[in-house]
Amino acid sequence: MKKAVLACNAQAMVGSPSEHYVAELVSENCNALKTIPVTCFDLTNSRTIFNPDLSVVRGKTVRQKPDKVEREATAVPPQYFYDLHKFVTLMANVMFVNGVPF
């Protein structure tokens, strides 16, 4: 568990590169991170325990276009509506989030 936490911290210290690149850095062939005692097995365990690093995922994923919503208009006869609801009060609220009205 301590090695998995160390692997997460090492990936953050290097600048949150992809897991494949960090695995190459800590591999025995490259051994670029000599001062950090992390192995590829520790990186795999950290991904299993803590899920993928969000800073890596957010920086490399692209927004998917949502499906278009099909609208259907339904006509309600005015006389039928007024027979059921004699007094109707219409109210609306407006709130601003970062200067954008909703």
Question: How large is the average pLDDT for residues 59-86?
Answer: 78
Supply the range of the domain harboring residue 52: 2-60
Distances (CA, A) of 18 to 8, 45, 79: 12, 15, 64
Question: How large is the average pLDDT for residues 80-99?
Answer: 80
pLDDT digits (tens, 9 = 90+) for 25-53: 877 767 677 777 888 888 888 888 888 77
The reported pTM is 0.49
Q: Specify if 95 maps to a domain.
A: no
pLDDT digits (tens, 9 = 90+) for 10-26: 877 777 777 788 888 87
User: What does the pLDDT read at residue 19?
Assistant: 78
Pair of tokens at residue 1:
């568990």
Q: Specify if 78 maps to a domain.
A: no
Q: Which residues contact 45 (CB under 8 A, 6 or more apart)?
A: 3, 4, 7
Q: Specify if 72 maps to a domain.
A: no
Pair of tokens at residue 28:
């025995």
Q: Specify if 102 maps to a domain.
A: no
Tally of domains within the chain: 1
